[in-house]
């Protein structure tokens, strides 16, 4: 009888402990969940505040870098497109016309083109000259000679020579004068040759050997030379 009572007491104690533990666990679980904010991020049972916008951007950037190359966008950025657009365009280092000393054999009013220097000199009185940067004929199209200016034209039209059209079949038979015309704002025709001293809208070509024999100048500088030169002005190309 005593043993039976002992067993009943032990069973009651175990039941009471079980109920107490269950209630405590429920209370602990309730408190744990209620203490966490709704926007908390759980990491292994712990919590921390939600990421700030700048942190989220860094996380997104890391995620993008972790993607396989095949899933990344192949479209170049606007900056890259801009850079590639102009990267292959050569730039001129020409700093503009200036007055220099001149001790050559030619008198005032003479135009002297020094092909090797990529310079044109308009001789002034008093041992001076105005020095202009020019573009000259590329290899196989350079020449030398002495002539006189036979014609002057403002915003001239252009008729490409037959030999040039044969080399470049896409050229028009005639192009009216204007800002897009290769002869630029002014042209000084050299004797009876096919060559001219003319303007250009390709400023990068000044100081380079790129033409088919003509002498190129910046538009604003050929306008200046044009105002100084008369028909019959002597031209020496060296």
By the 10 Å C-beta count (0-12 exposed, 13-18 middle, 19+ buried), 177 is classed as middle
The span from the CA of 158 to the CA of 155, in Å, is 10
Q: What CATH number is associated with residue 227?
A: 2.40.440.10
Highest mean pLDDT among 23-27, 162-166, 187-191: 187-191
The domain total for the chain is 2
Q: Is 112 found in the same domain as 13?
A: no
Higher pLDDT, 61 or 196: 196
Domain that holds residue 58: 2-64
| Residue 86 in domain | no
| CA 79 centroid distance within chain | 9
Confidence grade of residue 175 (pLDDT, cut at 50, 70, 90) = confident
> Three-state SS for 168?
coil
| Mean predicted confidence (pLDDT) in 224-230 | 98
The span from the CA of 22 to the CA of 28, in Å, is 10
| Residue 128 in domain | yes
Give me the active site residues, please.
Answer: 198, 214
| Residue 80 in domain | no
pLDDT digits (tens, 9 = 90+) for 194-213: 999 999 989 999 999 999 99
Q: Is 223 found in the same domain as 110?
A: yes
Confidence grade of residue 150 (pLDDT, cut at 50, 70, 90) = very high
Confidence grade of residue 108 (pLDDT, cut at 50, 70, 90) = very high
Q: Is 106 found in the same domain as 55?
A: no
pLDDT score of 195: 95
Higher pLDDT, 102 or 159: 102
| Residue 81 in domain | no
| Mean predicted confidence (pLDDT) in 29-35 | 39
Q: Is 110 found in the same domain as 60?
A: no
Q: Is 191 found in the same domain as 144?
A: yes
Q: Is 220 found in the same domain as 114?
A: yes
| Residue 131 in domain | yes
Contact 137, 115 (CB under 8 A): yes
Q: Is 224 found in the same domain as 115?
A: yes
The answer, yes or no, to whether residue 27 has pLDDT greater than 50, is: no
Q: Is 212 found in the same domain as 133?
A: yes
For 208, residues 6+ apart whose C-beta sits below 8 A from its C-beta are 90, 92, 118, 135, 136
**Mean pLDDT in the chain?**
75
Weakest mean pLDDT among 74-83, 123-132, 174-183, 218-227 = 74-83
Q: Is 229 found in the same domain as 147?
A: yes
């Amino acid at each position: 009888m005593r043993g039976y009572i002992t067993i009943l007491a032990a069973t009651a104690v175990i039941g009471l402990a079980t109920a107490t533990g269950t209630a405590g666990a429920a209370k602990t679980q309730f408190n744990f969940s209620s203490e966490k904010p709704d926007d908390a991020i759980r990491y292994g049972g712990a919590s921390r505040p939600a990421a700030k916008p700048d942190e989220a951007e860094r996380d997104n950037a890391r995620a993008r870098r972790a993607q396989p190359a095949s899933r990344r966008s192949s479209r170049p950025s606007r900056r890259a497109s801009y850079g590639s657009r102009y990267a292959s365009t050569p730039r001129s280092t020409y700093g503009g016309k200036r007055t220099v000393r001149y001790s050559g054999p030619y008198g005032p009013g003479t135009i002297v083109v020094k092909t090797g220097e990529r310079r044109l000199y308009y001789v002034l009185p008093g041992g001076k000259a105005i020095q202009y940067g020019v573009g000259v004929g590329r290899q196989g199209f350079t020449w030398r000679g002495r002539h006189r200016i036979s014609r002057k034209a403002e915003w001239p039209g252009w008729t490409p020579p037959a030999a040039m059209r044969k080399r470049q079949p896409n050229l028009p038979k005639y192009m009216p004068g204007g800002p897009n015309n290769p002869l630029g704002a002014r042209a000084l025709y050299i004797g009876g040759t096919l060559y001219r001293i003319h303007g250009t809208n390709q400023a990068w070509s000044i100081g380079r050997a790129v033409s088919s024999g003509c002498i190129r100048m910046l538009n604003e500088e050929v306008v200046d030379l044009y105002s100084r030169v008369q028909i019959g002005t002597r031209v020496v190309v060296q």
